[in-house]
Structure 1
Amino acid sequence: MTESNEEALYCIGCGAQIQTTQPNEAGYTPQAALEKAKETGELYCQRCFRLRHYNEISDVRLTDDDFLALLTQIGEADALIVNVVDIFDFSGSLIPGLHRFVGDNPVLLVGNKVDVLPGSVKRTKVKNWLREQAHAVGLRPIDVLLTSAKSGYELDDLLAAIEKYRNGRDVYVVGVTNVGKSTLINQIIRQTTGTQDLITTSRFPGTTLDKIEIPLDDGHNLIDTPGIIHREQMAYYLGAKDLKLVTPQKSIKPKTYQLNGGQTVFLAGLARFDYEEGPKRSFTFYLDNNLLVHRTKLQNATDFYTRQVGKLLQPPRAKEVAAFPELERIQFTPKEKSDLVFAGLGWVTVPAGAVIAGWAPKGVAVSLRKALI
């Protein structure tokens, strides 16, 4: 925050109190920029400055209470809710209790990062799976779309759907941190404005604390909301360097291993796959291409993990091991060809009848679904 002996300063764009110590929190501006702004009289936080001059929106984290207050406002509004989720981490990218806050407002569910799925994955299957998962937690999306915030994949279809379903209303874009929501909004800004002047001269950003209002042609707004921190995301436990090893940036190249019963495959030090019983079978892993995969014997796996986590098995890095949650085990025996999904990492396609177990940090979901391929 600002120094205690100084008068509190506020961003003239979003109203957040200016602070110079926490880059990921609301109101952050570098000290050098703050000194310059005091001279000009135009004081913007870094987020609003980048938006105003470069059309770039960055994510800002709120406390749980702040975000709940924001969700309550959304439920009281008459608007279309665009909920952005991560295809690789659906459970970790759900906003807890969102279905209770949206009221009668329609929800458009958008699965991000579709561009890194292998070409053999049918998009219709992914959409159907996302819809099923949403229904399971009480969310009833009016439609489900797939996109890529990074590449702009099918952005035109998304924009058309937003225009169709908003029916002349405001649009709230919501999502947890690390799902690519801000990158997606940046794509929308670039595609819909085509010029920086419109952004710079309009009533933009909005004056409501911690929201950014992007003006639409009919006087309504597309409203970016800050991301909530979800503590059941794998990303929550990783630093910026390791996030690059976990979050796929390019199309995934599947890796198939022939495993005998009694073998374990470690996904770096982040998760573990056990083939407990059965004859020699093929298992296909869909993970970031750079993530370390290591095979060993099941009977030695626990001891091996204790000795090598943070060393051979990293991430997590050695200095982060103490804060990394203990892995918890869940056993499955699929009756049909299935995917064992490690939320935030990827999945393993397993044959019917194989006795398997998935291990992940406490709170991070491991689940079974019908195979996408």
Structure 2
Amino acid sequence: MAVFCTGCGVKLQSENPEQPGYVPASAMEREQVICKRCFRIKHYNDLTPVPMDKNDFLQILHRIGETKTLVVKIVDLFDFNGSWLPGLMRFVNFNPVLLVANKTDLFPHVNWGRIEQWVRLQAKQGGLKPVDVVFCSGEKGTGIKTLMEAIEKHRQGGDVYVVGATNVGKSTIINQMLKHAGAEETAPLLTTSRFPGTTLDMIKIPLDDGQALYDTPGVINEHQMAHYISHEELKVILPTKPVKPKIYQLHSAQTLFFGGLARLDFNAGERQSFVCYMSNELLVHRTKLEKADQLYVQHLGEMLTPPGKKSLQEWKELEPHQFSIGEEPVDIVFSGLGWVAVKGTGAHLTAYAPEGVGVYVRPSLI
């Protein structure tokens, strides 16, 4: 009989240490078994990358549309655009979707009523009309009780599928729900980490009424910055503490560098503030526009880091994206990195990011 890892859901095997799901044969007899990969994540914060075919993701998502179920879609509020799954509705058929905005702990002082309106509007524009919106922090455990109550209300006796892009915190939230339900003594916790792609297959968690909650693998959004840098560099760009906005009063013909990962040129416009919402660990450097190109060439991998020197040989050239800002406050978003709030007094901007990384303009979140 097949045995599956209680941490990531992968089928276990003892034949090939280099393949997913490996455990020593002696460990297969234990009641709760985790694979070598999950063991190293839990104890050493070390991730062995495991490629997963996109067709495997699609096959899992197709299962959701074949049954009556509640879909819990989790997004990363700090990376709302980057973690959005644009084609979800065509997979879930007519099943209801509960939208969960995770990582509220990164926003300590905000108007949550206004942010909920913003999230609902963004969801509508993204083709989704959720039955409800819940805000929570999987890391801190806040909002978990409200989420559990919303799931019970909307699942109507059916199964629950938890979906989302990689690194939105699905497994962390499920672990918090297990703890709130008093199951931590009898049920294994799912493997969690800051690295994308920790869950490798669906993990089934039985519910009291005979139905089940399923944790699904994260869908890879290739336009997120996380897929262009090393795992070590992820520790710099993924915030783990409340984000402290960095405010810069800029004249036209000035540039902001975000490490060496991205850049924003203020080409023309009146002197105004640019508010940067990015990891506290990421260095923001201001310079004159006329010096920006030379600065990037001379200091990439040194003063402008990440990327570090080891990553430079695979580093992609920064691509420009032109924006003309009107009178409404907007955010210039770098997918998976953060955003810069522009107050809406008129500006011509050029945003740069590596080829393939998404760069967007959206109505201001904060």
Q: Same fold (TM over 0.5)?
A: yes
Query: Is the alpha carbon distance of 1:28 and 1:151 closer, same or farther for their aligned partners in structure 2, counting shifts above 3 Å?
Result: farther
| CA distance in structure 2 between the aligned counterparts of 1:43 and 1:152, rounded to whole angstroms | 25
Instruction: Report deviation, 1:325.
Output: 2.6
- Indicate yes or no: 2:186 matched with 1:186: no
Name 1:203's counterpart in structure 2.
Answer: none
Indicate the percent of aligned positions where both proteins have the same amino acid. 45
Name 1:292's counterpart in structure 2.
Answer: 283
5+ residue gaps, structure 2, are 189-199
Instruction: Report deviation, 1:15.
Output: 6.8
Name 1:75's counterpart in structure 2.
Answer: 65
Q: Deviations over 1:293-334 (max 9, x none)?
A: 111111221232122221211111111123233222222222
Q: 1:129 aligns with which of 118, 124, 149?
A: 118
Q: Following superposition of structure 1 onto structure 2, how do residues 49-64 of structure 1 map, counting pairs within 5 Å?
A: 62-64=52-54
Contact 2:165 2:218 in 1 (8 A): yes
- Indicate yes or no: 2:11 matched with 1:16: yes
Contact 2:98 2:133 in 1 (8 A): yes
Please give the TM-score of this superposition, normalised by the length of structure 2.
Answer: 0.85
Q: Deviations over 1:167-204 (max 9, x none)?
A: 1110000112111111111111111134412x26xxxx
CA root-mean-square deviation: 2.7
| CA distance in structure 1 between the aligned counterparts of 2:291 and 2:71, rounded to whole angstroms | 49
Please give the TM-score of this superposition, normalised by the length of structure 1.
Answer: 0.83
Q: Quick check: 262-271 or 223-232, which moved more?
A: 223-232
Q: Following superposition of structure 1 onto structure 2, how do residues 293-308 of structure 1 map, counting pairs within 5 Å?
A: 293-308=284-299
Instruction: Report deviation, 1:48.
Output: 11
Instruction: Report deviation, 1:239.
Output: 2.1
Q: Quick check: 40-49 or 230-239, which moved more?
A: 40-49
Q: Following superposition of structure 1 onto structure 2, how do residues 361-372 of structure 1 map, counting pairs within 5 Å?
A: 361-372=354-365
Instruction: Report deviation, 1:238.
Output: 2.2
Name 1:338's counterpart in structure 2.
Answer: 330
Query: Is the alpha carbon distance of 1:326 and 1:133 closer, same or farther for their aligned partners in structure 2, counting shifts above 3 Å?
Result: farther
Q: Quick check: 329-338 or 12-21, which moved more?
A: 12-21
- Indicate yes or no: 2:344 matched with 1:347: no
Name 2:165's counterpart in structure 1.
Answer: 176
Query: Is the alpha carbon distance of 1:264 and 1:17 closer, same or farther for their aligned partners in structure 2, counting shifts above 3 Å?
Result: same
Instruction: Report deviation, 1:79.
Output: 0.5
Q: Following superposition of structure 1 onto structure 2, how do residues 1-373 of structure 1 map, counting pairs within 5 Å?
A: 10-12=2-4, 16-18=11-13, 19-21=16-18, 26-29=20-23, 34-37=24-27, 40=29, 44-46=33-35, 62-119=52-109, 121-197=110-186, 199=187, 210-335=201-326, 336-351=328-343, 352-373=345-366
Q: Which amino acid aligns with 1:16?
A: K
Name 1:206's counterpart in structure 2.
Answer: none
Q: Secondary structure at the match of 2:161?
A: strand
Q: Which amino acid aligns with 1:255?
A: K
The number of equivalent residue pairs is 342
Q: Deviations over 1:34-88 (max 9, x none)?
A: 14226x48794428987xxx9xxx9986320111011111110110001111112
Q: Deviations over 1:13-40 (max 9, x none)?
A: 6572525225xxx5243xxxx14226x4
Query: Is the alpha carbon distance of 1:310 and 1:129 closer, same or farther for their aligned partners in structure 2, counting shifts above 3 Å?
Result: same
Query: Is the alpha carbon distance of 1:153 and 1:42 closer, same or farther for their aligned partners in structure 2, counting shifts above 3 Å?
Result: closer
